[in-house]
Amino acid sequence: MNCASCPVASATMGDGFHTFMSSGTFISFEGIDGAGKSTHIARVADLFRQAGRAVVLTREPGGTPLSEKLRELVLHEAMDPLTEALLMFAARREHLVQVIEPALARGDVVLCDRFTDATFAYQGGGRGFDWQVLAELERMVQQRPVDDATTGHAGQAGYTPEANHTPHARHTREGGYPSLRQPDLTVWFDLDPLIAAERLASARVPDKFESQPAEFFAAVRAGYARRQAEMPGRFARIDAAQSIDKVGADVSRVVSDWLQRSAA
């Protein structure tokens, strides 16, 4: 978007959260359990609201009534790794169609506590599940509507023609697939698994993932690193071992800088 004629409050305030943007914005927040995402997601939401943006706060797995039911199964029931992966992507599909795509079409800010990177990290890294199978499921579930109305995507539930005019819908085809819905920015809270375990020790009753040993979370961390290496353009790594104030300052800076670059 050319903002030469747009009202940009950041010109005087130096704060990217006040940059005028009419299109939807999709930011995900990733990291192992205990990395401290929740506090900072709420702060980013407040900053966007103060800047006059409508914000949708959501999470994965979850985000819709059906997806929340699937979340309970995934977090608490023992199951085959493929079953687990299929349930994650089934919940994601409902989340995209019912919540994320409509919000982006309205021009809202979507802040999501985990998205597909978590599936690659936890199921691919932690569980050791086939990375290419996850990539195929990602292509099946996360296809975006293409500009050509004859494809029929615009008629699907949750998709609107307006979505094709946002930056999210400007894409190219790779291998016959429309480009996939990915976050515009992913903030990765990177933390040593041993530190995360100390933080979680007395926090709450652990679910089946939180109760895994440190080796599992080391593999999850490696999964996140691999995902970042595959898509470095949208990832911003935050050192989550810092104090909460320093982490918060880093998160605000990363998001603000990204917004300013996007509006240029």
Task: Give residue 263's pLDDT.
Answer: 80
Task: Check residue 34 and give left, alpha or beta (phi > 0: left; psi -120 to 50: alpha).
Answer: left
Domain count, the chain: 1
Least confident among 14-23, 58-67, 192-201:
14-23
CATH number of the domain that residue 79 is part of: 3.40.50.300
Query: CA of 139: how far to CAs of 44, 50, 236, in Å?
Result: 29, 36, 23
Using one digit for the tens of pLDDT, what is the confidence trace for 236-264? Answer: 999 999 999 999 999 999 999 999 988 87
Average predicted confidence (pLDDT) for the chain: 82
Residue 187 falls within a domain, yes or no? yes
Least confident among 120-124, 178-182, 242-246:
178-182
Residue 15 falls within a domain, yes or no? no
Q: Residue 42: which of 244, 261, 204 has the closest Cα?
A: 244
Using one digit for the tens of pLDDT, what is the confidence trace for 183-207? Answer: 999 999 999 988 888 877 766 667 7
pLDDT band of residue 127 (cuts 50, 70, 90) is very high
Task: Give residue 228's pLDDT.
Answer: 97
Residue 186 falls within a domain, yes or no? yes
**pLDDT (average), residues 91-104:** 97
Residue 144 CB-density burial (10 A; 0-12 exposed, 13-18 middle, 19+ buried): buried
Residue 16 falls within a domain, yes or no? no
pTM above 0.85, yes or no: no
Query: CA of 164: how far to CAs of 56, 111, 132, 145, 227, in Å?
Result: 20, 21, 28, 7, 27
Using one digit for the tens of pLDDT, what is the confidence trace for 157-175? Answer: 333 333 333 334 333 333 3
Q: Percent of the chain beyond pLDDT 90?
A: 64
pLDDT over 90 at 146, yes or no: no
pLDDT band of residue 152 (cuts 50, 70, 90) is very low
Domain assignment of residue 178, given as a range: 21-263
Residue 11 falls within a domain, yes or no? no
Residue 213 falls within a domain, yes or no? yes
Per-residue burial over 22-54, b = 16 or more CB atoms within 10 Å of its CB, e = otherwise: ebbbbbbbbbbbbbbbeebbeebbebbeebebe
**pLDDT (average), residues 25-39:** 91
Residue 194 falls within a domain, yes or no? yes
